[in-house]
Each structure stands twice: as C-alpha cells, then as structure tokens.
Structure 1
Amino acid sequence: MQPPVHPVDQMLPARAMVSLGFQHMLVSYLGAIAVPMIVAGALKMTPAQTTLLISTALFTSGIATLLQTVGVWKFGVRLPLMQGVAFGSVGPVIAIGSDPALGFNGVCGAVIGAGVITLFLAPVIGRLKRFFPPVVSGCIITAVGLSLFPVAYQWAGGGHGAKDFGSPMFFVVAFGTVALILFVNSHGGKLVRSLAVLIGLLMGGVAAWLLGMGNFDEVARAPWFTLVTPFAFGLPTFNAGAIATMVIVMVVQMVESMGLFVAIGDIVKRPVTEREATNGLRANGLASAIGGMFAAFPFIAFMENVGLVIVTGVRSRWVVATCGVMLCAVALVPKIGALFSSIPSAALGGAALVMFGVVVAAGIRTLGQVDYERKPANLSVVAITLGCALMPVIMPSLLARLPAALQPFVHSSVIIACVVSVFLNLLLNGIPARDEEPELAVTPEHIAEM
C-alpha cells in the first residue's frame, strides 16, 4: 500500500487549483507591484518604463514562485510559498539607480551578481537551520503578522493618499468584507469555504464601487499586451561596489528567508530539513539572478499568502504554483493587472485584517507549544524579541538616528525578530546540537498523535 500523500504535495481537481490559485494571485498582486512602482517613481521613469518594470516584476515573481514551489533538482524548498520582490531591496536599488555612473543598468548588474554569489552561499546559510527551534520560529511568525497590520489599517482607512482617509464608509466596507469572509467560512461548503477570502474580497469590492469608491482610469490607460524580454533596459553594468552592497542586502534576506522557511514548514506541518532550507535559499539566489536579467529585483517569501493558506486550510504547493503561472500570464496583459489593482482599498483592508490576523494566531499557537517549564529562559526570548521586533512598527522614529548602514535592516520587523530571537536563544539556552530535535511542551494533541 502506498503511503498517504502529504497535503503539501496533494494535487487538487483542476477547478479548485484554478480558483484557489486565482485567490492567491489576487492577494499577492498589490504586494508584487508595490516595489517596482516605488522604484520607478524614485528613478523618474516614464509611464512606458514603469509599465514594463511592473510587468517584469510580475513575470519574474511567477518564475520565482514556480522555482520555489515545484522545485528543480537542488533548487526550491517545495512548500506553498509565494515569492515576491523583497521590500528590503528598495533603498539599495534606488541608491544604485540614482548614481549617474550606474543607472538602472547598474541595478540589474548588481542583482545578477549578488544572485549568483548568494546561490553559492546557500549551503553555508542553510547550516543555520538548527538555530531556528519553535521558540524562534514562533517569534518570527508572530512578528510577521503584527508587522503587517499597519498595511491592513491603511487599506481599511481608504488607502495611502485618500482625501477622506478614515471615513466611516471605508470602515463599513472593510468590516463588511470581514463579515462576508466569516459568513462564507462558517456556512459554505468545503470548496466555497476555501474561497472565502476571494468571495469576500470581490463582493466587498463591488459594494465599494457601488458606493463610489475607486475608479477604472488605470484600466483604460493600461495597454492590452506587453512583451517581457531579458535586458529590456539594456545590457547590465557590473560594478564591484554595487554588487557588494546588494550581496549584503541579500545575505540578510537569506537569514530572513531561513526563518520564513522554518516558520511556514511548522504552519503546514511539514518541518523543513537543513537540505530543504538550502535548496530554498539556492532558489532565491537563482530567481534573483534571473530577475536581474529581466530588470526585476531580489525575491523573498510573501507572508500575506501564508495567511491565506491558514484561512483556507489548503496546504497544496501546487495551488501556489498555479498562482505563479497566472502571475506570468498577467504580466503579459497589463490591462488585467490594472483591473485587479483597481479593487478599492477598503475591501482589501478587510480581507487583510483576516489574513494577517491568522498569521499572528499561527505564531501564538507555535509559541504555545514551547516548553516554558523546563526552559524558563524561553519566556525571556519571546518577550524581548517581540518587544524589539515591534519598534519599527510602533515607533519607527526611534531608529532614525542609527547609522545609515543599519537602516535597511532595523526597519524590518522580520529581520529584527530573526536576529534577536536566534541570539537570545543561543545566549540563554545554549548552542543546539546539529541533529537535535527541538523540545516542545507535551500537550494532549501530541499525546493523541503518539
């Protein structure tokens, strides 16, 4: 008799794969285009160049997602992990692109060079997996969810730049969307429940449009088709200083990715091994090198989609791989992408509140399994890590006077949570043996599984 297929490897019926993949794409779309839009504005790109940059970012996000979920040879962690442009790369990309001697071609060269270098560094960083026991991964998951809430609040209030930001009607739409998601999740059939966020988001969006929120101006302006080709902005320029800068950024992101791999493995109940973590980091490096060829950016996991995995209960990596294929297709039809991005922010805010909230809940659940009786120091690890990780969320001005070299790192709650929790765990609990399994508190759930 063949062993049962793990839910992560399960192939669903085609209709479910398409609808669930579409739901993931809808959730990830705004995050996928946010960085290229910011960079294009900072570098004063033309509308045509901005459209091209967004398309290349979407296309390479799809490739990176497929590489990470499906896996090829020694590349890919093979988890339901949506890949997107790393927000931590915005500062360095703008700094390199603003240099007249380098320009955007210098950005492409730096990303390609750093991607190749970090690809070969993957086995070294992969050996750090043992430093991410549940007390560390639980802190990281919780910090990720908490750090995403400001985005949800901004959307729920009408979105960045809204003239009547915080209007009660925005909250009516946002919490109406929450109510719709909860209703569908409670009373729908199995497939309908798995699409609760998509249904709530679309119905909330329609209600917002009927109330006069949002418009379709960008849809009208966007072209129907665009061609995504390598080196669309010209041949890359390789500069040692620019590459070194991007390598530093990407090494930090590798540590962050390591934490996310372990955290997501815990969420879907498929613990990540050291070899799998290394394969995931290799995929990040290769995807970034490919991204540089297409004028895109370094890549990292999107935790917004992890919230969707938790809400729907569907852990199949093939669903997220379907999302990757859809991203590649949408990149070629900017008008479709513009239609997705025209969904009113208030409806997005309601859906985000649900998804980001369940990420926090998943982190709390992981921390609830940590042994605080035999290892009381774990309580200090959790307390201090979360206190530090929330600094850039609650009071970012507190970190403004730190050295400029630290700024890209101290404004990421996930990086802070990774560094602080790993350091404190080593300091207070000691260095774990390479093959040591992390100790969890014995709960009734564990007894039932024995």
Structure 2
Amino acid sequence: MSSDSVIRAIHPVDQILPVRQMLTLGLQHMAVSYIGAIAVPLIVASALKMTQAQTVVLISTTLFCSGIATLLQTVGFWKFGVRLPILQGVAFSSVGPVIAIGTNPEVGFAGVCGAVIGAGIFTILAAPFVGRLRRFFPPVVTGCIVTVIGLQLFPIAYEWIGGGRHASDFGAPAYLAVAAVVLATILLVNRYAGPMLRNMAVLIGMLVGAALAYGLGMGNFHSVQESPWLTVPYPFYFGLPTFGIIPIATMVVVMIVQMVESMGLFVAIGDIVDKPVEDQQVVNGLRANGLASTIAGMFAAFPFIAFMENVGLVILTGVRSRWVVAVSGLLMCAVALVPKAGAIIASMPTAALGGAGIAMFGVVAAAGIQTLAKVDYERNRYNVLIVGFTIAAALVPVLAPALFKQLPEWSQPFLHSSVVIACLVSVLLNAALNGVSSPAATKEAATHSL
C-alpha cells in the first residue's frame, strides 16, 4: 500500500496535525471552555465559604483534572476513553448536590471528595450495562439531542453578549458592538482567509473583540495581579476523604444522569465527526468518565462531562482531530500550575466571548437540524411527533425552569438538563412508536444518515 493510501485511510478524527497547528487549535479550544471550567469551583468555593488560597487550589485542581479527563477521553488507554474530540469539564448538574453535601456540618468537603470517588467507581462498574443502550439512539434521536444542545446554550451566549448576568448596564450598546465585531471577524476570516486562519477563526474573533473591549474600557487585569505564579495540585489537599452512604448515593444519582447525557453526547458527536460510535466505545467513554471522577475526588474536584461549547468549535473549524483536543487537555494541566496564565484567559471580556458563543452554538443547532433533515418523515409520520415532542419538552429548563419545580425531589436531577430530557423523551418515544432496532440496523442507519 502506498504512503498516499495510508494517509487517505486515516480518519480525520485520528489525524495528527503539525505541532504548531495543534498548539494553536488546542489553545482555541481551551480559551473557549475556560470560563465554564472555572465557574463550578468558583460557585462551590463561595457557597462553602472557602478562603482565597483554598479557592485558588480548588480552581487549579479542577483545571488539572479537566485536562486529565480530556486526555482519558481523547487519547484513551486499554478499555477507557471514547477516543473522539471531546473536551471534558465539570458538570453543572453536580453543583447543587456538592454544595448540599459540603455544607452539612457532619460531612463537610471531605465527604464531597468521598462521594465523588464512590460515584466514580460506581460509574466504572455500571458502564458495561448502560453502554448496551446504544441501539436506542438512531438518527432521529441523535438529531434531536444535537439540536437541543445548540438551542439550550443560546441563553448563555446572550448573557455573555450583554456583559454578564450581574452587569449593572446589561445590554449596553458597547457590549453589543463588541459581540457584533467578533461575529463579523469570524465571518470575514471564514470567507476570505486561508485554510490555516479559517481553523482559528473563533480565536481570532475573540482576540479582535477583546482588543476592542479593552479599548472601550471593559474588563481589567486585577485578577492577574492577585493570582499567584505557581501552585501544584496534589491529592487530599483538604484532608483524607470520608465515605458516607447518603452522600455517595446522592452523587450516584448525579452520575446516572450524567451517564444518560454522556451516552447521548458520545453518539451525537460521533455522528457530527462522521465516525459512528460503537457500543464498546460508549462503554469505554463511560468508564473514562468514572475513572476521571474517581481521580477528581482524590484531587478535590468534581464529576466531569463533555463540554458542549467545544462541539460547536469542532463543527465551525472543521478540524475533527481528537489529538487537537488532547493538546487542549495538556494545556489545561499546564495552566492549572500557573494561575496567572489562567487569570489572563479568564479576563477575556464576556461580550467578546458571547460573540464567539453565538457562532459556535448556532452551528451546533444547525448540525442537529441537518441530521433531522435526513430523517424520513413522509413514510413514517411518528418521526414528526418524536422531534416535536422532544424539543418542546427539552426546552422547558431553558424557557420555563419553574415548571418542573413541584415534581418529586428525586426527579429534579433528571429535569435540570435539557440534554437529559432530550435523551429520555426521544429514546422513549422512538422505542414506543418505532420500536427498537437491532444493533446492526442502528449502526447501518447511522452510517446512511451521514
């Protein structure tokens, strides 16, 4: 076989790009996800009344473990890792349970770490059983999930564009102008620049928007000055973990929700990058989530899940290499050691980030719509009902979050996430109306839908 044939045989997901290109694109992925990566530790640290030094450590350990989790999923080893371009970050669904456990004086933060470790081990053991559900995700289901991923992220982008949720001058014309410049830059780079620059369109747009924002007096570098130069995350900083049945059971519920969400994301992202996911890959991906969470518990971090913001970046740039995202994971580990470097990224004006968010989240929703456009609605009228009912139900947490609040407490973790609702509703409706295909048929349908 010629060398050209070998190169053509390598799937874009498995391609290793030139080092400079991977570093630049990896930085782009990290810059897009950084604000979301530090949000959870900031919220938890504030709720648990941690000191400034403890907060810095918590942010560093979370970033460090996010990098490890990303490497587990992208590079993988043995039976761990889905091996797709997936950047891992802390799941927001874990915030409530973590704060509830941590504020219990009889449990404390050591109990949080023990609960995360216990739930991570549970996930590793349960992964083979949950992974068998792959056949419940035909194109009509994955299309709904990807569409909902994009739609449910729009409010976040709108908040960024307006200057941040708590901005006193939310929606000021200057914020809107910065976001518009970012969007215009991304469009111009995609239209007129060469292939290399097009791949970095989002990063270029954010930098141009940030320069304009700073010129207009937005943002500052106070956090950079206050951050230490070096910190070294190490296990059991907050003491040895303690293990209690109720805290672990609480976190297990969170992990069950995340397994449902992760399974849907694995299958959907596999379709997006034209590499359909096999049952065993789903199992390996769930195992990696469990192992990452177990490690996170040792380092005083939290459960991890795929960052949906980065899915949009994969679509927008067209670069599907998992090795690029693996480099992003390495960069997150490096930034965790140098808080000042992370503070520079965190000082990005939110309006500039919002412009990039609109572009990324929009193309995610468009990718879902593209998948749904290939679904047969003429010969199968049930597909219309599945799509309509799923999207209507999945957007409740975004458009009317109070609607489900009076339902039983045990159901709340499942109703908190639009993606979880999209998974559950579309899978159940498809199984009830269309029946369940065999694994081989599901794989063939996914291939034909691409």
Note whether the superposition's TM-score is higher than 0.5.
yes
**Larger deviation: 222-231 or 369-378?**
369-378
1:371 touches 1:440 (CA, 8 Å); kept in 2? Answer: no
Query: Displacement of 1:439 after TM fit?
Result: 6.9
Q: Deviations over 1:166-209 (max 9, x none)?
A: 11111000111100111011111100000000000011001000
1:152 touches 1:349 (CA, 8 Å); kept in 2? Answer: yes
2:85 touches 2:321 (CA, 8 Å); kept in 1? Answer: yes
Query: Aligned ranges for residues 338-377 of structure 1 at < 5 Å?
Result: 338-377=343-382
Aligned counterparts of 2:447 and 2:376: Cα–Cα separation in 1? 8
**In structure 1, what residue type is equivalent to 2:235?**
P
Which residue of structure 2 aligns with residue 195 of structure 1? Answer: 200
CA distance 1:128–1:390, change in 2 (3 Å): same
Query: Aligned ranges for residues 163-202 of structure 1 at < 5 Å?
Result: 163-202=168-207
Q: Deviations over 1:220-257 (max 9, x none)?
A: 11001001000111100000111111111101110110
Matched, 1:142 2:142: no
Which residue of structure 1 aligns with residue 136 of structure 2? Answer: 131
Q: Deviations over 1:328-348 (max 9, x none)?
A: 000000011111010101000
1:205 touches 1:343 (CA, 8 Å); kept in 2? Answer: yes
Which residue of structure 2 aligns with residue 332 of structure 1? Answer: 337
SS at match of 1:108: helix
Which residue of structure 2 aligns with residue 44 of structure 1? Answer: 49
Which residue of structure 2 aligns with residue 388 of structure 1? Answer: 393
Query: Displacement of 1:395 after TM fit?
Result: 1.1
Matched, 1:13 2:54: no
Aligned counterparts of 2:47 and 2:370: Cα–Cα separation in 1? 41
SS at match of 2:359: helix
Aligned counterparts of 1:125 and 1:139: Cα–Cα separation in 2? 20
The match for 2:420 among 415, 418, 421 is 415
Query: Displacement of 1:268 after TM fit?
Result: 0.1
SS at match of 2:442: coil
Query: Displacement of 1:408 after TM fit?
Result: 2.4
CA distance 1:404–1:244, change in 2 (3 Å): same
Aligned counterparts of 1:347 and 1:437: Cα–Cα separation in 2? 41
SS at match of 1:367: helix
1:370 touches 1:439 (CA, 8 Å); kept in 2? Answer: no
1:370 touches 1:440 (CA, 8 Å); kept in 2? Answer: no
Aligned counterparts of 2:156 and 2:40: Cα–Cα separation in 1? 14
SS at match of 1:300: strand
The match for 1:119 among 114, 121, 124 is 124
Which residue of structure 2 aligns with residue 312 of structure 1? Answer: 317
Matched, 1:56 2:95: no
2:395 touches 2:418 (CA, 8 Å); kept in 1? Answer: yes
The match for 2:40 among 28, 35, 40 is 35
Aligned counterparts of 1:283 and 1:208: Cα–Cα separation in 2? 39
Aligned counterparts of 1:442 and 1:65: Cα–Cα separation in 2? 26
The match for 2:231 among 204, 226, 242 is 226
Aligned counterparts of 1:415 and 1:22: Cα–Cα separation in 2? 29
The match for 1:292 among 290, 293, 297 is 297
Identity across aligned pairs (percent)? 64
Gaps of 5+ in 2: none
Q: Deviations over 1:287-332 (max 9, x none)?
A: 0000000000001000100100000000000000000000000000
Query: Aligned ranges for residues 265-304 of structure 1 at < 5 Å?
Result: 265-304=270-309
SS at match of 1:436: helix
Which residue of structure 1 aligns with residue 88 of structure 2? Answer: 83
CA distance 1:182–1:94, change in 2 (3 Å): same
1:108 touches 1:295 (CA, 8 Å); kept in 2? Answer: yes
**TM-score, with length taken from structure 1:** 0.97
1:91 touches 1:408 (CA, 8 Å); kept in 2? Answer: no
**TM-score, with length taken from structure 2:** 0.97
**Larger deviation: 45-54 or 370-379?**
370-379
Which residue of structure 1 aligns with residue 111 of structure 2? Answer: 106
Which residue of structure 2 aligns with residue 65 of structure 1? Answer: 70
Aligned counterparts of 1:412 and 1:269: Cα–Cα separation in 2? 26
Aligned counterparts of 2:297 and 2:305: Cα–Cα separation in 1? 14
Aligned counterparts of 1:405 and 1:440: Cα–Cα separation in 2? 35
Query: Displacement of 1:400 after TM fit?
Result: 2.1
1:20 touches 1:319 (CA, 8 Å); kept in 2? Answer: yes
Aligned counterparts of 1:369 and 1:109: Cα–Cα separation in 2? 46
**In structure 1, what residue type is equivalent to 2:295?**
I
Matched, 1:252 2:253: no
Q: Deviations over 1:253-289 (max 9, x none)?
A: 1011000000000000000000111000000000000
**In structure 2, what residue type is equivalent to 1:186?**
R
Alignment coverage as a number of residue pairs: 445
**In structure 1, what residue type is equivalent to 2:380?**
K
Q: Deviations over 1:358-379 (max 9, x none)?
A: 0000000011111112322111
**In structure 2, what residue type is equivalent to 1:19?**
T
2:65 touches 2:292 (CA, 8 Å); kept in 1? Answer: yes
Aligned counterparts of 1:150 and 1:430: Cα–Cα separation in 2? 35
Q: Deviations over 1:364-407 (max 9, x none)?
A: 00111111123221110000000000111111122222222222
1:153 touches 1:349 (CA, 8 Å); kept in 2? Answer: yes
